[in-house]
Chains A and B, each alone.
Chain A
């Protein structure tokens, strides 16, 4: 999980700006899912990104908020 709005199973895959995809730093081979492809700002007083697992309808669901 990255604060740039994407997930990947490739360790250390990382990018700091939402350039066009695929890019040198995030090639298609990295297996990237980028639903919020942008820099998500962290704020000590505002919102933070959290995650939690819950069981919904008998299935485990991972939430990222």
Chain B
């Protein structure tokens, strides 16, 4: 079985070098060490690790909050789109979080995690940031269009097989 990581480690050992530390793509932490690093007295902190291909060793984004923020049991919180930045955040209130705990009613409420008619500004939808140090592949000029309207479903045939939920497929 091919083992790229094993070959990489062996290569570094043969060259007398210390192997480079692998970083997880996503890192979620809630511990004192991260809170100290954030210089924040908050009770909980979340950090999102670097993207694949990134040269940065620090998390892409991290934020923390303290116990004064009300988070009801069974409630999920969504950070408002304009607070999504690749920087450190020490938020001072829960105002930027929107409660997402409603079910789809077939009308105005589309349920968690969709818009629940709350106070958050959802008019701008999803936001994405092109990190300068991460590889971005823009296929808009060369790709094949998938949908011609809303509520479309199409099958895509891939030239390779991949595992997906316990099976192997070449089509999604």
Establish whether residues B111 and A49, one from each chain, have CB atoms under 8 Å apart when the complex forms.
no
Q: Which residues of B contact A37 (CB under 8 A)?
A: 113-114
- The number of residues on chain A lying at the interface, defined by a beta carbon within 8 Å of a beta carbon of chain B, is 40
Q: Which secondary structure dominates where chain A touches chain B?
A: loop
Which one of A4, A33, A65 lies within 8 Å of B139 (CB-CB)? A65
Establish whether residues B150 and A50, one from each chain, have CB atoms under 8 Å apart when the complex forms.
no
Establish whether residues B140 and A47, one from each chain, have CB atoms under 8 Å apart when the complex forms.
yes
Establish whether residues A1 and B153, one from each chain, have CB atoms under 8 Å apart when the complex forms.
yes
Q: Which secondary structure dominates where chain B touches chain A?
A: loop
A-B contact pairs, 18 of them (CB 8 A): A1-B146, A1-B156, A2-B152, A2-B153, A3-B146, A9-B164, A9-B165, A9-B171, A13-B153, A19-B114, A37-B113, A48-B145, A50-B143, A51-B156, A54-B139, A56-B137, A62-B156, A63-B137
A11 to chain B, nearest CB (A): 8
B15 at the interface (CB under 8 A from A): no
